Amino acid sequence: ADLSYSVADTRTERESRETFFRMENFYNFVGPLLGLGAEPKDLTFLQISLRGIIVFLATLAMVRIGHKRSLARKTAFDAVLIVILASVLSRAINGSSAFFATIGGGVVIVLVHRLFAFIAYHSHWFGCLLKGRPEVIVENGNLILATMRRNHISKHDLEEDLRLDAELEDASEVKVARVERSGDISFIKKE
């Protein structure tokens, strides 16, 4: 029985060493190509270009994980994902942080966004916390000035959106106008 244990143990050690050597060979091949471990100022045009291509492909994969909606920037929740992801992944390209760890961090950010979106879908309270809620700023042609002030929407802003989006001249023609969660103003015309 002792002999079989030592043979199995030797096999495990051998497999572990083989995995280590494969990883070391991979690193020895990829390291110089990507400038892994180099100072950012020492990266060559080719290394930065290869890093950019890899980050681009990794970001495409992350967007597929996070769904198309995250790129629509419908709410501050979605816009924050884009800003943070771009900031984090740019560090992988310019060499100011560890390449693969930074890409891994980007994946984690996308997964957290996806998790929060899932929870927000199933919990109205959490959805409102993350994304906000729409607010009425015009009702039956009457401006609700307190809500407009709270959302920093002037009468001129409202009139501009009326002309551009609703093709109306005056708020008196509006049944309801809302500041949506995205910050856009939606209009329902009076009949």
The verdict on pTM exceeding 0.85 is no
Q: What is the pLDDT of residues 7-63, one digit of tens each?
A: 556 777 777 777 777 777 777 888 888 888 889 899 899 999 999 999 999 998 888
- For 121-134, the pLDDT digits (tens) are 999 999 999 888 99
Say if residue 146's pLDDT is above 80: yes
* Element at 14 (helix H, strand E): helix 2-34
Averaged pLDDT score across all residues of the chain: 87
State the average pLDDT over residues 180-184: 87
Long-range contacts of range 80-87, CB-CB < 8 Å, 24 or more positions apart? Answer: 81/109, 81/110, 81/113, 84/109, 85/59, 85/109, 85/110
pLDDT more than 90, % of the chain:
57
